[in-house]
């Protein structure tokens, strides 16, 4: 027995935005720091965990089907993490190795032989200094952006793309990838600081703060020529405005609809102009990077391009780090209040 081991526990299904202390708590769980690694397994120390809006979707009654399984109440939240191998009983891993793992948000995690399937060595061929990028631009977030923009967005030089949540984890990457492809990039954000960031730091061609200007008005002002791609992270009023602003044959990769995640049934923002999909022959498609034939097909290309650009300094990827596992519940709630610039990361 011995040292404390804190974990973030999912206590019960929220109906709106989760409440720290009620739906999410931080608890000390049992942990024997003198025990060896499990048979065929490893003992990990979590260094960083990624928190993402999709996790809200897992906080649902288990009978509601969705792409990722519902979290189990009373158990820790599972999150993509960077961890260090403390003890190993598996020839593929040795003490000190860094891994990318899909594990509980918990300081120390013991995995048995079977569970090691959820971890992969952290590969860093370009020697990127800040390993946190492997939870962001070089991780699943980056692959999400890269694969969906290519596969669904089909960007063509000279076209115009509108990216919602443009200073967010995925949005900031999509916008920069689109700039690399020669597109005109318009972004929406929720604060003036974020607006300055996408215009001055990321070099977007236009942007607006949706808390100060309606998306429909802003798109008329910033993209009078119409949109060719709407990269959907938000839903609701943003989607409605984009459906009106899109040109014929426009594409809508649907990565997220964060404005809808905390709406109880019956309170959704309803889109009146869905018939534009017909009239303008739009393609709207949802995806998850891990879908068969989706992200996997772009992994090498994504690593090669974005790894090189980050190393060279021609690609920016801001992260908002929260320090300490105790602060995970508040940090998670912050995702829905637009608190973060770029990718939200927890330093455990």
Question: Which residues of this chain interact with its own copies, rule CB under 8 A?
Answer: 57, 66-67, 235, 239, 248-249, 254-257, 260, 265-266, 268, 270-272, 274-275, 277-288, 291
| Residue reference for tokens 């044959």 | 249
Residue 129: which region, alpha, beta or left (left: phi > 0; alpha: psi -120 to 50)? Answer: alpha
Q: How far is the CB of 260 from its own copies (least distance, A)?
A: 5
Please, what is the minimum distance in Å from the beta carbon of residue 62 to its own copies? 15
Direct distance between the N- and C-terminal alpha carbons of the chain, in angstroms, rounded to an integer = 21
Query: Of the two residues 151 and 205, which places its CB atom closer to its own copies in the complex?
Result: 151
Nearer to its own copies, 134 or 289 (CB): 289
Identity of the residue, 14 or 286, whose beta carbon is nearer to its own copies in the bound complex: 286
Measured CA to CA in angstroms, residue 239 lies from 101, 200, 274, 330 at distances of 34, 25, 9, 28
- Nearer to its own copies by Cβ, of 13 and 277: the residue is 277
Distance of closest approach, residue 97 Cβ to its own copies, in angstroms:
34
Backbone angles phi, psi at 20, to 5 degrees: -60, 135
Q: How far apart are the C-alpha atoms of 346 and 325, rounded to whole Å?
A: 7
Q: Give min distance, CB of 232 to its own copies, in A.
A: 8
Backbone torsions φ then ψ of 96, nearest 5 degrees = 95, -15
Structure token pair of residue 197: 């960031």
- Minimum CB distance to its own copies, residue 263 (Å): 9
SS3 273: coil
Find tokens 């897992």 and name the residue.
58
Residue number with CB closer to its own copies (99 or 255): 255
Task: Specify the residue, 268 or 314, whose C-beta has the smaller distance to its own copies.
Answer: 268
**Least Cβ distance, residue 67 to its own copies (angstroms):** 6
CA dihedral over 118, 71, 148, 100, signed as positive or negative = negative
Is 49 in a helix, a strand, or coil? strand
């Amino acid at each position: 027995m011995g040292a404390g081991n804190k974990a973030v526990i999912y206590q019960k299904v929220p109906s709106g935005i989760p409440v720290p202390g009620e739906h999410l708590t931080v608890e000390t769980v049992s942990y024997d720091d003198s025990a060896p690694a499990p048979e065929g397994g490893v003992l990990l120390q979590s260094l960083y965990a990624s928190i993402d809006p999709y996790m809200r979707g897992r906080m649902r009654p288990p009978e509601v089907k969705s792409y990722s399984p519902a979290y189990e109440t009373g158990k820790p939240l599972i999150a993509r993490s960077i961890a260090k191998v403390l003890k190993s009983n598996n020839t593929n891993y040795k003490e000190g190795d860094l891994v990318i793992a899909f594990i509980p948000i918990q300081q120390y995690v013991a995995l048995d032989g079977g569970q090691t399937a959820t971890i992969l060595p952290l590969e860093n061929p370009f020697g990127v200094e800040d390993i946190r990028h492997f939870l962001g631009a070089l991780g699943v977030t980056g692959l999400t952006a890269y694969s969906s923009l290519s596969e669904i967005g089909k960007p063509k030089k000279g076209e115009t793309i509108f990216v919602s949540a443009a200073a967010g984890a995925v949005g900031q990457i999509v916008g920069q990838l689109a700039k690399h492809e020669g597109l005109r990039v318009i972004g929406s954000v929720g604060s003036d600081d974020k607006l300055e960031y996408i215009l001055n730091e990321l070099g977007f061609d236009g942007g607006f703060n949706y808390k100060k200007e309606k998306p429909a008005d802003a798109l008329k002002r910033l993209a009078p020529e119409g949109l060719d791609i709407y990269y959907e992270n938000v839903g609701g009023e943003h989607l409605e405005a984009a459906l009106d602003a899109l040109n014929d044959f426009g594409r809508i990769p649907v990565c997220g609809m964060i404005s809808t995640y905390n709406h109880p049934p019956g309170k959704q923002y309803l889109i009146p102009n869905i018939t534009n999909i017909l009239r303008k022959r739009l393609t709207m498609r949802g995806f998850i990077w891990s879908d068969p034939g989706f992200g996997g097909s772009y992994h090498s290309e994504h690593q090669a391009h974005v790894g090189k650009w980050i190393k060279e300094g021609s690609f920016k990827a801001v992260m908002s780090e929260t320090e300490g596992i105790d602060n995970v519940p508040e940090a998670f709630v912050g995702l829905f209040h637009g608190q973060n610039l770029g990718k939200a990361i927890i330093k455990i």
